[in-house]
Amino acid sequence: PFRRASRLANLGVSEILRIGARAGEMQRAGKPVIVLGAGEPDFDTPDTIKEAAIAAIRAGDTKYTALDGTPALKAAICAKFRRDNGLDFTPAEITVAAGAKQVIYNALMASLEPGDEVVIPTPFWTTYSAMVEIAGGIPVLVPCTGENGFRMTAEQLQAAISPKTRWLMLNSPSNPSGAAYRAADYRPLLDVLLDAPHVWLMSDEIYEHIVYDGFTFVTPVAIEPRIRSRCLIVNGVSKAYAMTGWRIGYGAGPASLIGAMAVVQSQSTSNPASISQAAAVEALNGPQDEVVARAADFKARRDFVVAALNAIEGIECRVPEGAFYTFASCAGLIGATTPDGKVIESDRDVCAYLLEAGLVATVPGAAFGLSPYFRISYATAMAELEEAMRRIAAACR
Ligand code: PLP
């Protein structure tokens, strides 16, 4: 019989994928389930980007490329950091991989020794802790609840750091909470890090362009240049340009770390797809107006969903600063009884009930390390969101 490696002991395929599969099953059985689970924009990749990919195919740009990014793409990424973040990086400080996901994986594989600790504020994108475990590290989860806007405090960070800490992983704006750190929120955390020179910072900025109400996105490296020598910025084109399927993410950090990440990539997947890299060059260098237009669309949906959720007894939702998720408390539903007599005991129960009885797929906070909450992705057409909110309200009544 097949014996699984022990490094997978506590790991399974993501709960989000499992819920998506169940929703698909129900749809095939004729039930009109609305899926608010997926973490991807519902709009199409802009035509200019598609054309760049088609041109690359026609030009024979279909061979192995430089291992961790073509010179053209690295140049476009350097220009992006100058334009958006006021940071100057050289190509040797840039890496390109098959999604931000692989950038994070490469960094953890390149840096962690068995037993090294990684501090992760919850709620977090589930993949973080799974990747730390695969790389032999120990995730140190720090609960950051709605009371503090799902943001970590300096006291919490200080208490979580030990001599074995290698990384702090931050994600602003956040999947799943939509919370974002202002410069003033970062400052005390950066002060703690300055006093703990053995801890590196991984800053996942993939939702950088999806912010609302005039929120000013800022990267910690721009606030505190002294952290630059031990910070990896993670970003990518998936969310900003609706390019989830193209698989291009990138990182910026010290050349020594980037070089070690290249070794991991070299001995596993090699370069990301040549055609996708050509498309990403166009995404980063081309017109940026669609990015702004989409953020405006998302804002209207966010406002609608937050208001609709807060109108439901038992649900409470703060207004997220960014990304395309709400992370609402369902504490007021715990202990309730469903029409067929089942007592709701957890956020997993809430989401199972909303799926089976309400025909709306959402994801329980437990999947992101913080209960009792549930996540809705509002990267969905307004008409569907309206129907979904009607159903959730009816199911909760
Ligand atoms: N980081 C966060 C917080 C995410 O939510 C995601 C995708 O869901 C990623 C990284 C990975 O994006 P990709 O691998 O598509 O670039």
* 290 has pLDDT over 90: no
Any ligand 1 atom below 6 A from CB of 39: yes
Same CATH fold assignment for domains 6-44+290-396 and 63-285: no
Q: Name which CATH class applies to 63-285.
A: alpha beta
Whole-angstrom Cα distance, residue 123 to residue 365? Answer: 7
- ipTM tops the 0.85 cut: yes
Any ligand 1 atom below 6 A from CB of 167: no
Torsion over CA: 285, 244, 268, 138 (sign): positive
Whole-angstrom Cα distance, residue 83 to residue 87? Answer: 8
| Rounded to 5°, angle at Cα 353 from 393 and 325 | 65
Whole-angstrom Cα distance, residue 239 to residue 256? Answer: 28
pLDDT one-digit tens code per residue, 89-123:
999 999 999 999 999 999 999 999 999 999 999 99
Ligand 1 pocket: which of 181, 206, 237, 243 to mutate (most atoms within 8 A of CB): 206
Number of H helices, E strands in the chain: 13, 12
Which one of 3.40.50.300, 3.10.20.30, 1.10.10.10, 3.90.1150.10 gives the CATH number of domain 6-44+290-396?
3.90.1150.10
Domain range list for the chain: 6-44+290-396, 63-285
- Distance from the CA of 345 to the center of ligand 1, in angstroms? 30
- Distance from the CA of 320 to the center of ligand 1, in angstroms? 18
Any ligand 1 atom below 6 A from CB of 37: no
The average pLDDT across 245-257 equals 98
The average pLDDT across 149-157 equals 97
- Distance from the CA of 235 to the center of ligand 1, in angstroms? 8
* CA nearest to 333, candidates 318, 353, 319: 353
pLDDT one-digit tens code per residue, 49-85:
999 999 999 999 999 999 999 999 999 999 999 999 9
Any ligand 1 atom below 6 A from CB of 175: yes
pLDDT in the model for residue 325: 97
